[in-house]
Amino acid sequence: MTTTTNQQGRPDQRTRADGSQPLVRAVNVTKSFHGNEVLKGIDLTVHRGEVVVLLGPSGSGKTTFLRCINQLETIDGGRIWVDGDLMGYREDEKGHLHHLTDKQVSAQRRDIGMVFQRFNLFPHKTALENVMEAPMQVKGVSKAKARARGLELLERVGLADKPKAYPGALSGGQQQRVAIARALAMDPKLMLFDEPTSALDPELVGEVLRVMRDLAEAGMTMIVVTHEMGFAREVADHVVFMDAGVVCEEGTARDVISNPQQERTRSFLRRMRSEEQQERRDEQEQEQVEPA
């Protein structure tokens, strides 16, 4: 895989030797809120079956960028393609962009699953009913097929014994796994994860990361915003470090995490390592004070 530079000095998209087209391609994406420029020309390439991890401090634009891919936010400039489709727009023969209708945007979203920090499950529906809902309502899948697929997905995320449980009776980790199963029920081409473990108690993080590792091993294309450095080291094919709305550094996990070239990246990683060490010390102290 190679990186080249175009005539404007911007890095071209990563290419593969076999010439295959990327599943996701973002070029010069910009986004502002109330005059505050949050994304300042983001380029990203994600190939099929890849896991790309976005790292960076809070406020760096990672979540906004994910939401732009899924058209939960409208970009101000640039282009985003998913599986060859220009997201949110159609381009005429003169290169002018025209907004798609809400119905057309919704159709594009069907191929993209998204898991948020908060689980956003329907509290009045069981785990199985939460997973069945979208295929039935959006795709018109029969109740019997949605139920069979829902049970299969709950088993896949380790919740085969919880189909009748309501969200209020589940732990945070279990709820997040239901949310992952719900996203998978739409058979997405791409999964977006926005800090899926940040709202969980430390002891529940591992169970969610295990499901995500399994998805990666099964070949799911994933873009993951996370502060879980172990996951990034072990699972990511490509790591992108963002800060203040720009991509500061990108490469393999080894390149970016173990041998960062930019001071902003090094500073962020030092802070993350310090926090990880403090968490381990806190866990050890807690184990010492708990009765046997």
pLDDT in tens, 252-286: 999 999 999 999 999 999 988 887 776 666 666 66
34 CB-near residues (< 8 Å, 6+ apart) = none
Indicate the helix (H) or strand (E) that contains 105. Answer: helix 102-109
DSSP state of 254: I
Burial string for 233-257 (b: 16+ CB within 10 Å, else e) reads eebbbbbbbbbebbbbbbbebeebb
Take residue 282 and report the two structure tokens written for it.
């806190």
Q: Is residue 131 part of a domain?
A: yes
Instruction: Determine, yes or no, domain membership for 164.
Output: yes
Would 156 be classed as within a structural domain? Answer: yes
User: What pLDDT is recorded for position 20?
Assistant: 77
Residue 157 domain flag: yes
Q: Do residues 78 and 26 make contact, with C-beta atoms less than 8 angstroms apart?
A: yes
Give SS3 for 235: helix
Assess contact for 79 and 90: CB atoms under 8 A: no
The answer to whether position 275 is within a domain reads no
Domain presence at residue 170: yes
Q: What is the domain count for the chain?
A: 1
Judge whether 65 and 243 are in contact, CB under 8 Å: no
pLDDT of amino acid 203: 87
Determine the pLDDT at residue 12. 47
* Spans in the chain with pLDDT lower than 50: 1-12
In a domain, 136, yes or no: yes
Q: What is the token pair recorded at 133? A: 């809902």
Q: What is the pLDDT of residue 287?
A: 63
Owner of token pair 């085969």: 160
State the pLDDT at residue 17.
61
Q: Is residue 155 part of a domain?
A: yes
Residue ranges making up the domain that contains 175: 118-187
Radius of gyration of the chain (CA): 20
CB neighbour class for 102 (10 Å; exposed up to 12, middle 13-18, buried from 19): exposed
